[in-house]
């Protein structure tokens, strides 16, 4: 039974990683997966067997025709769409008999109303969708996932201690607060460094801020992280300073690499991690509290190791792709039968 897995965004980020993970999870369930992406998607080198749509514009007529042909050719029973543009494409072209499942990766809900069903990734998103008029009975909840390939491995802090983070350089990720927190640690005379990977519209602003704070000599901007094994081997503490974070797949990656985590108490992280058990959670928009939480781990490496081990155990029990794929299979069966 064929299932279409569609994502037409060109950028890198959590939605794109989830699209790749859904391909693996659907294969775990035994379904035939037809992956469809934009010809310009930066993740195409990670999923070479996807069918590429030209997506020359936001409503590309050539892509519409091509997708209609693909639907007629493969006759999918279910289409899973990631992102608003993918939902628009699928909703306009699919026969009524084909069920459209939209994955709510963020709080943009209007296009999701075009879907027959919605998958949300957190309790908070489920409530948000319900509050905005979406039928509770057509909402399913499964978290984002990760294929776990590594065993828990305890490690010692480097000297200097290296704080790491990566993602899209946009306002909602809160990286300006991480730079402020690093400046506070420097003022407190802690011997620390920061590796801040990623890219985006705020890149120059963040680099200029590091110079203004006089932390540019202890801050590295390596660009998008392609070798995650190397990145995590170089860092001691992973920090997610987001203002808003619907989930935070990067947290799962940090958990797999056995790194202690400092995050903010925003939407997704506060559901994934328990404060003082799996991680330390700081107040949103507070560089001071972020610095305090980082200091707590720097001063207490044993606590950092204990939290990292607890987070790894939670990753294995709740977010492993083999576990989540079974939930996804159950959802598809409910939708079809």
Domain count, the chain: 2
Q: What pLDDT, on a 0 to 100 scale, did the predictor assign at position 12?
A: 79
**8 domain-assigned:** yes
**Residue 210 sits in which domain range?**
161-318
Closest CA to 141 of 337, 333, 324, 11: 324
Q: Quick one: DSSP state of residue 171? A: G
Measured distance CA(300)–CA(320) in Å, rounded: 29
Answer yes or no: do 125 and 176 share one domain: no
- Which residues neighbour 65 within 8 Å (Cβ) at sequence distance 6 or greater? none
Same domain for 300 and 332, yes or no, is no
> Are 306 and 331 in the same domain?
no
* 131 and 210 fall within a common domain: no
The answer to whether position 152 is within a domain reads no
80 DSSP assignment: E
In the prediction, which pLDDT does 57 show? 81
Burial of 306 per CB tally in 10 Å (0-12, 13-18, 19+): middle
Residue 222 sits in the same domain as residue 250: yes
Collect all residues with Cβ–Cβ distance below 8 Å to 44 and sequence separation of at least 6: 37, 50, 52
pTM: 0.91
| 150 domain residue, yes or no | no
Residues 301 and 324 grouped into a single domain: no
Does 125 map to a domain? yes
Residue 190 lies inside a defined structural domain of this protein: yes
Pair 306, 238 in one domain: yes
Tens digit of pLDDT per residue, the chain (337 long)? 799 999 998 887 888 999 999 999 999 999 999 999 999 998 888 887 899 999 888 788 999 899 999 999 999 999 999 999 999 999 999 999 999 999 999 998 889 999 999 999 999 999 999 999 899 999 999 999 999 999 999 989 999 999 999 999 999 999 999 999 999 999 999 999 999 999 999 999 999 999 999 999 999 999 999 999 999 999 999 999 999 999 999 999 999 999 999 999 999 999 999 999 999 999 999 999 999 999 999 999 999 999 999 999 999 999 999 999 999 999 999 999 8
- Do 166 and 309 belong to one domain? yes
29 plus 122 within the same structural domain: yes
Q: What is the CATH number of the domain that holds 39?
A: 3.40.50.2000
Regarding whether 253 and 281 lie in a shared domain, the answer is: yes
Inside any domain, residue 288: yes
Question: CB of 53 within 8 A of CB of 71?
Answer: no
State the pLDDT at residue 67.
Answer: 93
Is residue 100, in this structure, part of any structural domain at all? Answer: yes
Same domain, 97 and 165: no
Q: Say whether both 42 and 117 belong to one domain.
A: yes
- pLDDT of amino acid 59: 80
Residue 105 lies in a domain: yes
């Amino acid at each position: 039974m064929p299932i279409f897995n569609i994502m037409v965004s060109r950028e890198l980020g959590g939605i794109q990683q989830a699209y790749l993970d859904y391909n693996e999870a659907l294969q775990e369930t035994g379904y035939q997966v037809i992956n469809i992406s934009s010809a310009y998607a930066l993740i195409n080198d990670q999923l070479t067997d996807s069918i590429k749509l030209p997506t020359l514009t936001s409503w590309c007529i050539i892509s519409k025709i091509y997708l209609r042909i693909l639907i007629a050719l493969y006759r999918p029973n279910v289409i899973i769409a990631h992102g608003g543009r993918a939902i628009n494409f699928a909703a306009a072209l699919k026969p009524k008999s084909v069920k459209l499942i939209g994955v709510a990766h963020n709080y943009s809900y209007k296009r999701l109303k075009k879907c027959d069903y919605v998958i949300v990734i957190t309790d908070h998103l489920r409530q948000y969708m319900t509050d905005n008029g979406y039928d509770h009975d057509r909402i399913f909840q499964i978290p984002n996932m990760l294929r776990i390939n590594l065993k828990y491995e305890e490690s010692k802090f480097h000297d200097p201690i290296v704080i790491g983070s990566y993602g899209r350089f946009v306002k909602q990720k809160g990286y300006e607060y991480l730079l402020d927190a690093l400046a506070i640690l420097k003022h407190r005379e802690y011997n620390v460094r920061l590796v801040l990977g990623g890219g985006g519209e705020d890149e120059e602003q963040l680099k200029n801020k590091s110079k203004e704070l006089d932390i540019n000599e202890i801050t590295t901007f390596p660009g998008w992280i392609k070798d995650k094994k190397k990145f995590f081997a170089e860092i001691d503490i992973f920090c997610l300073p987001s203002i808003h974070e619907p989930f935070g797949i990067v947290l799962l990656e940090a958990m797999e690499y056995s790194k202690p985590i400092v995050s903010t108490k925003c939407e997704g992280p506060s559901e994934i991690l328990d404060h003082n058990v799996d991680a330390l959670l700081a107040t949103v928009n507070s560089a001071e509290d972020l610095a305090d939480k980082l200091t707590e781990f720097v001063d207490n490496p044993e606590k950092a190791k204990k939290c990292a081990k607890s987070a790894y155990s939670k990753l294995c029990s709740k977010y492993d792709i083999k576990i989540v794929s079974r939930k996804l299979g159950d959802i598809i069966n409910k939708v079809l039968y």
